[in-house]
Protein backbone atom coordinates (compact mmCIF):
# COMPACT_ATOMS: atom_id res chain seq x y z
CA UNK A 1 0.00 0.00 0.00
CA UNK A 2 2.77 2.40 0.92
CA UNK A 3 4.59 1.74 -2.38
CA UNK A 4 1.37 2.45 -4.28
CA UNK A 5 1.17 5.82 -2.54
CA UNK A 6 4.83 6.48 -3.38
CA UNK A 7 4.21 5.40 -6.96
CA UNK A 8 1.22 7.71 -7.32
CA UNK A 9 3.09 10.61 -5.74
CA UNK A 10 6.14 10.11 -7.93
CA UNK A 11 4.06 9.80 -11.08
CA UNK A 12 2.20 12.99 -10.25
CA UNK A 13 5.44 14.85 -9.63
CA UNK A 14 7.06 13.54 -12.79
CA UNK A 15 4.02 14.25 -14.96
CA UNK A 16 3.62 17.70 -13.52
CA UNK A 17 7.24 18.58 -14.21
CA UNK A 18 7.60 16.81 -17.53
CA UNK A 19 4.51 17.37 -19.59
CA UNK A 20 5.33 14.33 -21.75
CA UNK A 21 6.72 10.84 -21.87
CA UNK A 22 10.35 11.85 -22.35
CA UNK A 23 11.42 8.72 -24.21
CA UNK A 24 14.77 9.09 -25.92
CA UNK A 25 14.46 8.08 -29.59
CA UNK A 26 18.26 7.58 -29.84
CA UNK A 27 18.23 4.81 -27.23
CA UNK A 28 17.32 1.42 -28.67
CA UNK A 29 14.46 -0.31 -26.88
CA UNK A 30 15.32 -3.22 -24.63
CA UNK A 31 13.25 -6.34 -24.09
CA UNK A 32 11.92 -5.07 -20.78
CA UNK A 33 10.96 -1.67 -22.22
CA UNK A 34 8.97 -3.32 -25.02
CA UNK A 35 7.09 -5.67 -22.74
CA UNK A 36 6.32 -3.61 -19.67
CA UNK A 37 5.61 -0.07 -18.62
CA UNK A 38 5.53 1.43 -15.16
CA UNK A 39 3.86 4.45 -13.58
CA UNK A 40 7.27 5.29 -12.08
CA UNK A 41 8.91 5.30 -15.50
CA UNK A 42 6.87 8.13 -17.00
CA UNK A 43 8.52 11.42 -17.84
CA UNK A 44 12.03 12.57 -18.57
CA UNK A 45 14.81 10.01 -18.38
CA UNK A 46 17.32 10.49 -15.54
CA UNK A 47 20.05 11.45 -18.02
CA UNK A 48 18.07 14.52 -19.07
CA UNK A 49 18.85 16.25 -15.77
CA UNK A 50 22.21 17.73 -14.74
CA UNK A 51 24.57 15.39 -12.90
CA UNK A 52 25.79 16.28 -9.40
CA UNK A 53 29.53 15.36 -9.37
CA UNK A 54 29.95 15.15 -5.58
CA UNK A 55 26.86 12.98 -5.24
CA UNK A 56 28.05 10.79 -8.14
CA UNK A 57 31.37 10.24 -6.34
CA UNK A 58 29.47 9.14 -3.24
CA UNK A 59 27.31 6.89 -5.40
CA UNK A 60 30.39 5.24 -6.89
CA UNK A 61 31.72 4.45 -3.40
CA UNK A 62 28.34 3.04 -2.36
CA UNK A 63 27.91 1.00 -5.54
CA UNK A 64 31.34 -0.59 -5.19
CA UNK A 65 31.23 -0.88 -1.40
CA UNK A 66 27.84 -2.60 -1.28
CA UNK A 67 28.98 -5.30 -3.69
CA UNK A 68 26.70 -4.29 -6.56
CA UNK A 69 29.46 -5.32 -8.97
CA UNK A 70 28.74 -8.94 -8.10
CA UNK A 71 25.60 -8.75 -10.24
CA UNK A 72 25.92 -5.60 -12.33
CA UNK A 73 28.46 -4.36 -14.84
CA UNK A 74 28.60 -1.41 -17.17
CA UNK A 75 28.76 -2.42 -20.81
CA UNK A 76 28.11 -6.13 -20.33
CA UNK A 77 25.48 -8.42 -18.95
CA UNK A 78 26.27 -10.33 -15.78
CA UNK A 79 23.93 -11.99 -13.33
CA UNK A 80 21.87 -8.80 -13.39
CA UNK A 81 21.10 -6.30 -16.15
CA UNK A 82 23.80 -4.33 -17.93
CA UNK A 83 23.69 -0.81 -16.53
CA UNK A 84 25.05 0.92 -19.63
CA UNK A 85 22.47 3.44 -20.79
CA UNK A 86 20.15 2.86 -17.84
CA UNK A 87 19.79 6.61 -17.22
CA UNK A 88 18.67 7.02 -20.82
CA UNK A 89 16.12 4.21 -20.49
CA UNK A 90 14.68 4.87 -17.03
CA UNK A 91 13.53 7.74 -14.86
CA UNK A 92 15.35 8.56 -11.65
CA UNK A 93 12.12 7.77 -9.75
CA UNK A 94 12.02 4.22 -11.15
CA UNK A 95 15.71 3.52 -10.46
CA UNK A 96 15.52 4.90 -6.93
CA UNK A 97 12.42 2.80 -6.16
CA UNK A 98 14.17 -0.30 -7.54
CA UNK A 99 17.24 0.38 -5.39
CA UNK A 100 15.25 1.14 -2.24
CA UNK A 101 12.43 -1.43 -2.47
CA UNK A 102 13.36 -4.25 -4.86
CA UNK A 103 11.07 -6.75 -3.12
CA UNK A 104 8.04 -4.45 -3.45
CA UNK A 105 8.94 -3.53 -7.01
CA UNK A 106 8.85 -7.19 -8.06
CA UNK A 107 5.37 -7.50 -6.58
CA UNK A 108 3.96 -4.25 -7.93
CA UNK A 109 6.00 -2.90 -10.85
CA UNK A 110 5.64 -4.36 -14.36
CA UNK A 111 9.21 -3.50 -15.43
CA UNK A 112 10.72 -5.03 -12.29
CA UNK A 113 8.65 -8.19 -12.84
CA UNK A 114 9.80 -8.34 -16.46
CA UNK A 115 13.45 -8.05 -15.38
CA UNK A 116 12.88 -10.77 -12.78
CA UNK A 117 11.47 -13.08 -15.45
CA UNK A 118 14.46 -12.38 -17.71
CA UNK A 119 17.20 -12.74 -15.07
CA UNK A 120 15.51 -15.13 -12.59
CA UNK A 121 17.01 -13.12 -9.76
CA UNK A 122 15.60 -10.52 -7.41
CA UNK A 123 17.83 -7.57 -6.63
CA UNK A 124 19.01 -7.57 -3.01
CA UNK A 125 17.75 -4.85 -0.71
CA UNK A 126 20.88 -3.10 0.55
CA UNK A 127 19.05 -1.05 3.17
CA UNK A 128 20.02 2.26 1.58
CA UNK A 129 18.51 5.65 2.32
CA UNK A 130 16.74 7.74 -0.30
CA UNK A 131 19.78 10.03 -0.49
CA UNK A 132 22.09 7.05 -1.04
CA UNK A 133 19.85 5.71 -3.81
CA UNK A 134 19.91 9.14 -5.44
CA UNK A 135 23.72 9.15 -5.21
CA UNK A 136 23.88 5.81 -7.03
CA UNK A 137 21.61 7.15 -9.78
CA UNK A 138 23.95 10.16 -10.09
CA UNK A 139 26.86 7.73 -10.47
CA UNK A 140 24.99 5.95 -13.29
CA UNK A 141 24.41 9.32 -14.96
CA UNK A 142 28.16 10.01 -14.75
CA UNK A 143 28.97 6.65 -16.35
CA UNK A 144 26.45 7.20 -19.13
CA UNK A 145 27.83 10.68 -19.86
CA UNK A 146 31.40 9.39 -20.05
CA UNK A 147 30.50 6.41 -22.26
CA UNK A 148 31.22 6.60 -25.99
Q: What's the CATH number where 141 sits?
A: 1.10.760.10
Task: State the pLDDT at residue 8.
Answer: 41
Q: What is the pTM of this model?
A: 0.76
Indicate the number of domains in the chain. Answer: 1
Name which residue leads in pLDDT, 128 or 16. 128
68: Cβ–Cβ under 8 A, 6 or more apart, which residues?
126, 136
Average pLDDT of the residues of the chain: 83
Is residue 140, in this structure, part of any structural domain at all? yes
18-22, 54-58, 67-71, 102-106: segment of lowest average pLDDT: 18-22
Domain carrying residue 87: 50-148
Query: Can you list the alpha helix ranges (DSSP code H) found in 101-129?
Result: 102-108, 110-119
Residue 129: its pLDDT value, please? 98
Over residues 20-49, the pLDDT tens digits come to 333 343 444 454 444 579 999 999 999 999
Answer left, alpha or beta for residue 136, where phi above 0 means left and psi between -120 and 50 means alpha: alpha
Amino acid sequence: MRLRFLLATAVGAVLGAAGGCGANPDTPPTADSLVATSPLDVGPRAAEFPMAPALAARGERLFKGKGCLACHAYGKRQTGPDLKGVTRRRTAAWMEAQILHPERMIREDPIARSLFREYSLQMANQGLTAEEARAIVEYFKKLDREAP
